[in-house]
Amino acid sequence: MTRRRRAGALVAIATSQLLALSLWFSATAVAPQLEALWELSTTETAGLTVAVQIGFAAGALLLAALGVPDALRARTLFVAAAAVGAAANAAVVLVRPGDVWLVLLLRALTGAALAGVYPSGLKVMAGWFRSGRGMALGALVGALTVGSAAPHLLRGLGAGWEAVVLGASGLAVCGALLMAFSVSDGPYETPRQHFSWTLLRRVVRNRGVRLATLGYLGHMWELYAMWTWTAAFLAASARASGGGDAWVPIATFCVIALGGVGAMVAGLWADRHGRERLVRHALAGSASCALATPLLFGATPLLVVPVFAVWGIAVIADSAQLSALVTEAADAQVRGTALTLQLALGFAVTLVTIPGVGWIAEAAGWRWALAGLALGPAAGYVAISLLERAGGTTSLTRP
């Protein structure tokens, strides 16, 4: 296999993921507009993101339980799920202001569809790369990060909320088409498996998969809550310092999107120096940034934004490597199911932290809202240290 073919596959798969994952924060990015237009409460505003997480977690658990990621071709699942997600997301613009429940239902359906997109993209990429897999999956998570940030950019450029939502759906359709017509199965793609409950059992009994998944849970405790509430924290901090907040959407885009670059660089570093070591450094760094937020609140944006930029890099740098650890620990025949289960459990954790940050902000103010996110990476650090002490995934590739 030539380097040109591998490079072409990497670009096409990553771009497909970037475009499709723009659906994730399409409503979150315009939450302030919807909050004012529809008179939403803080809980309902948080629900715009939480509903996606619920849908993703439920959809991924169902897919993993049925073994669908290993029974269907990954590219087929990606294309179908991206199309469904684009349709559900676009339907939000048709909802009347009083029907918040319908918006939340559509957001949950979008999340369920994304449960077929994200892990499928990881599996397609793993099928193309054996050596350099950390870099490749890092590029894919980087694409996810930039795609998630894209709606904030559209809003920052002045687009109305309908244009942001429909624009995200259009990008997702383009991602589905790119995956369908520009990507083929890689040389390391595993053959499709017939459905059997033993697929899930083989995943759960694997100690390497369990430890890597526990590390992922700590990572996810923090990640999506940080992404969801960065704009609100920056705006509240700016007001507390006596300044304006017109710059917040663009700053939020930069904070999240910088993580995309960091994820790919982290993948290159991890391939050379070790995944567990990279993950531990990233978890320690992101926990430190979370603990610093009470001290930063109300300070000049010239200090707050750079620290959040560092946090934006650290908070996502370990994501792809945690997935890579699972692909290395799991038997090849159940790789898709292992990835989907890891993601399902991780996104279930976000159902606690995303609304939790909002509740803390209401009760104690934004100064203290994000500090508790440090608990997750601290716990994840312990799990990955145990994995590393046991010799890493190379010594734990069997149940």
Say what the pLDDT of residue 192 is. Answer: 60
CATH of domain 3-395: 1.20.1250.20
From first to last of its 399 residues, the chain has per-residue pLDDT tens of 567 787 788 888 888 988 998 898 788 778 778 887 887 777 777 788 788 889 988 888 888 777 777 777 888 999 999 999 999 999 998 988 778 889 899 999 999 999 899 888 878 887 787 777 777 778 777 777 777 777 877 777 777 888 888 999 999 999 999 999 988 877 777 666 554 556 667 777 788 888 999 999 999 999 989 988 999 999 999 999 988 888 998 899 899 888 888 888 888 888 888 889 999 999 999 999 999 999 999 999 999 999 999 999 999 999 888 988 887 887 766 777 787 788 888 888 988 998 899 889 989 999 999 999 999 999 999 999 998 887 655 444 433
The domain spans of the chain are 3-395
pLDDT of residue 312: 94
**For the whole model, what pTM was predicted?**
0.75
For residue 190, what pLDDT is reported? 66
pLDDT for the residue 105: 94
SS3 per residue for the chain: CCHHHHHHHHHHHHHHHHHHHHHCCCCHHHHHHHHHHHCCCHHHHHHHHHHHHHHHHHHHHHHHHHCHHHHCCHHHHHHHHHHHHHHHHHHHHHCCCCCHHHHHHHHHHHHHHHHHHHHHHHHHHHCCCCCCHHHHHHHHHHHHHHHHHHHHHHHHCCCCHHHHHHHHHHHHHHHHHHHHHHCCCCCCCCCCCCCCCHHHHHHHCCHHHHHHHHHHHHHHHHHHHHHHHHHHHHHHHHHHCCCCCCCHHHHHHHHHHHHHHHHHHHHHHHHHHCHHHHHHHHHHHHHHHHHHHHHHCCCCHHHHHHHHHHHHHHHHHCHHHHHHHHHHHCCHHHHHHHHHHHHHHHHHHHHHHHHHHHHHHHHHCHHHCCHHHHHHHHHHHHHHHHHHHCCCHHHCCCC
What is the model's pLDDT at position 3?
A: 75
